[in-house]
Amino acid sequence: MFARDRRQARQARPAARGRAGGLPPGPRLPAVVQTVLWAAAPTRFGRSCAERYGPLFTARILGFGNVVYICTPEGIRRILRDDADNFDAAAANESIKFVVGRHSLLMSDGHEHTARRRVLIRPLHGGNVAEYVGLMEQIVEEEIREWAPGSTVRLLDCFQRVTLEVMMRAVFGITDSSRLERLRVLVPRLLDINPLIILLPAIRRPFGGVGPWARFQRLLAEVDEIIYAEIRDRRASHGPGGKDVVSLLLAHDGDGDGVTDAELRDHLVTLLTVGQETTATQLAWFFERVTRTPGALERVVAAVRAGDWTVVDAAIHEAIRARPTTMDIGRVAIGEWREAGYVFPAGTMFAVSLGLLHLSPELYERPDAYSIDRFHPVEPSSAHFMPFGGGSHRCLGASLAMVEMRTVISGILRHVRVEPRRRAAERVRPKGPMLVPRRGAEVTIVENRLPRQGSPALRGPGDER
């Protein structure tokens, strides 16, 4: 589809009209109340709407207008199958353009999107990701070495550090210690973005240098400065390229098909935005679930020892199903779209709800229960389980995410024995765009077989005592 058609579709919003001149049913509450309910507890809001109005319902969300939720396998498959031609993801992602930039994959569709995806596929495909495993293992060990027996650890905080290190050192290939130090402070603050900035474009004003928008702009400028300095240095150094994303994208220059600094910056910030916290949060939910489900932890530990990745992957998939980090992906119809007897005009905003699909009682018996057996030895049909989406915008980091989660899980469970700090399940809490465990997936360290920093086993013969 051409850019002009897509622009027209964006301008057409929010004129959506459906069957009998209306949209699918939905809550009648004022938009502001629906927005508050949706922002405070998106899973509960979506599930109660689906229960009451069926799998196609309309919510009114400030900043997005009328949003048509869709959560049947058939409806989702139809949208994702026709994604490239009939839907616009960039229009749905418009609210985060100021972070990821206009060259981001998230801000493109059609031919432009295909071309940008082609550039990023090579560094993120499975074969190349395997190159990152050694450094990932080292990063996990650095993190867990200090976990003292008897102490309580908030795994979400640990995984945020680990996934950020993996992204900066393995995926981006940054080695400069002062840049790493600064990014360790700045990136978590950047990703902890005030949701009001996303929901209310009206507050995106400088207001004399005070307020959330001005603060965010200063933060983004600092991160950009570091990223541009890294790109400049890496372009200037003519050494043999590594396997990281920056080296591979710059090596691409040699084919005469190079990326500009601005494009590279947008790619890196996109990977940080969509790849780092998602993986950290999903890892936290994994441990929250397996430590609180009788028998699950023992089963995963045994599988790690035996190198049986089918069980580990099943346990990861079940955690993604039972505790999604985000509920929906957004799409805007470019032309007229027919679904379940409704006729949706161009400009209709859809929330393709992978979260509601995965929690559907029609597809999953006792959907709230965590059970590795749902995915082992046979996985559910791919029409019922799409952890990484589907169609033209399917997650480009799926291999990286799976390899990273396996590496972190096995790195911990090989050395450390953990138990839940409390037996009760942790509640879901929205944090920016993420749904995180309320207490950060707290565990108690029962045993840590890794020698601690400075312990005799780590000292070399010539080291000072």
Which residue ranges make up the annotated binding site for heme? 395
User: Which residue from 400, 394, 158, 117 is spatially nearest to 272, judged by alpha carbons?
Assistant: 400
- Check: CB of residue 135 under 8 Å from CB of residue 170: yes
% helix, strand, coil for the chain, step of 5: 55, 10, 30
| Chain position carrying tokens 């200063």 | 218
Give 254's contacts (C-beta < 8 A, 6+ positions apart). Answer: none
Q: Catalog residues that contact ligand HEM under the rule CB under 6 A.
A: 89, 105-106, 117, 270-271, 274-275, 278-279, 282, 320, 329, 387-389, 393, 395-397, 400-401
As a dihedral over the C-alpha atoms of residue 112, residue 115, residue 116, residue 122, rounded to 10 degrees, the angle is 170
Nearer to ligand HEM by C-beta: 323 or 450? 323
Nearer to ligand HEM by C-beta: 274 or 346? 274
Nearer to ligand HEM by C-beta: 155 or 450? 155
Nearer to ligand HEM by C-beta: 213 or 287? 287
Question: Least distance (Å) from ligand HEM to the CB of residue 394?
Answer: 6
Q: At what angle do helices 309-322 and 296-306 cross, to 10 degrees?
A: 140
Question: Least distance (Å) from ligand HEM to the CB of residue 176?
Answer: 21
Nearer to ligand HEM by C-beta: 153 or 395? 395
Whose CB is nearest to ligand HEM?
Answer: 397
Question: Least distance (Å) from ligand HEM to the CB of residue 455?
Answer: 33
Nearer to ligand HEM by C-beta: 320 or 372? 320
Residues annotated within a binding site: 395
User: Which residue from 314, 333, 310 is spatially nearest to 322, judged by alpha carbons?
Assistant: 314
Question: Least distance (Å) from ligand HEM to the CB of residue 331?
Answer: 7
The two tokens of residue 105 are 């994959």
Question: Least distance (Å) from ligand HEM to the CB of residue 269?
Answer: 11
Question: Least distance (Å) from ligand HEM to the CB of residue 187?
Answer: 13
- Check: CB of residue 86 under 8 Å from CB of residue 346: no
Distances from the Cα of 189 to the Cαs of 93, 160, 378, in angstroms? 21, 12, 41
Question: Least distance (Å) from ligand HEM to the CB of residue 302?
Answer: 24
Kindly write down the DSSP assignment for every residue of 271-297, as one continuous string.
HIIIIIHHHHHHHHHHHHHHHHSTTHH
Q: Apex CA 407: angle with CA 268 and CA 281, to 5°?
A: 60
Nearer to ligand HEM by C-beta: 311 or 434? 434
